[in-house]
Amino acid sequence: MAFNRIFNFSAGPSMLPEEVLQIAQKEMLNYNGSGMGVMEMSHRSKVYDEIIVAAQAQMRKVMNIPDNYKVLFLQGGATLQFAMVPMNLMTVNGKADYVVSGSFSKKAAEEAAKYGNVQIAASTKSENFTRVPQQNELKLDPEADYVHICYNNTIYGSVFNYIPETGNVPLVADMSSCIMSEPIDVTKFGVIYAGAQKNVAPAGLTIVIIREDLLERTPKEYTPVMMNYKTLAEKNSMYNTPPCYSIYICKLVMDWLLNMGGLEVMQKRNTEKAALLYDVLDNSKLFKPTVEKQNRSIMNVTFRTDDDELNAKFIKEATARGMSNLKGHRAVGGMRASIYNAVPTEGVRALAEFMKEFEANNK
């Protein structure tokens, strides 16, 4: 049956690499000669154990994760991590610093405040999160149990243009919308977590990369077993049934990234894709970017016109051209193009050309 795939600019769940989908399609009914699909097999079987072990190993290669970090495949999305992080880590001095640079870091801080003393180390809320707080603005407590940031702000389209220096205090980062979009020094972080549905896999999988020494902080007396990092690490993410199919797709995506040349190649490709849109915005009299230049994300490009009706018209006409999910979040309005790893350059180029055409027709 013939069909046409659209260019999907959704903030998540988002596009997956077509090559990955084709492999999954081929193996849907019979994975590796097992006579069954991955969705049907026991997570305790030898054939599935090979999948999850390979997914972890390939992720370590892709991100250059050191041996003293555990890779966990969990559930509950990044939102569950808003509680798991303080429950497991805010256990030494009972306090943590949060840098609030957008909606999700604000929610993370509010959740953490249920478990200890949360200090807002810096916030750009008064500027409607049009930029990320810089190092010299951070008021950090050397006795904090950790410092938390959201590295890339999906809603507002901003990104940290530096890795905060936190001294001996572990840095915890929500990287849901930018993980594996570019190389990053994992050793600069105590914990990295991410919902996988933007760059890695279908919804349902949450990735946690945690330095081993931090596992000793978990208070086993009252931490629910399914929220206990140490237990989950000891059981290799298999304390109960994991999100089996999402982990399988994750493994295929890791293979794809390595075959593409790794994160250095992906960074170059993503930077070039983003430049296509930002070049239009920087030369437009109609469209306006919503983030200061030094903090522009290469994953989520946010922009608008000054006319809500014109914004709606743009989204409608773009959808008719096969470019979907461009409506911006209600907190920002306007438009948002999420151009994650799997979004092809041709799709971003088509959007850039349509933006120019739309401006010419709506002067």
pLDDT at 2: 40
Least Cα distance to 55 among 166, 271, 172, 205 occurs for 205
pLDDT tens-digit profile of 271-314? Answer: 999 999 999 999 999 999 999 999 999 999 999 999 999 999 99
Residues of the chain where predicted confidence (pLDDT) is lower than 70: 1-3
Closest among 300, 257, 41, 225 to 33, alpha carbons compared: 41
Q: Smallest Cα–Cα separation from 52: which of 214, 296, 247, 246?
A: 247
Digit-coded pLDDT (tens) for 157-183: 999 999 999 999 999 999 999 999 999
What pLDDT was estimated at residue 69? 98
Q: What is the spatial distance between Cα 315 and Cα 9, in angstroms, rounded to a whole number?
A: 11
- pLDDT of 3: 52
Query: CA 338: distance to chain centroid?
Result: 11
Tell me the C-alpha distance between 55 and 150, whole Å. 25
3-state SS, 337-359, equals: EECCCCCCHHHHHHHHHHHHHHH
Which domains are delineated in the chain?
Answer: 21-260 (3.40.640.10), 262-361 (3.90.1150.10)
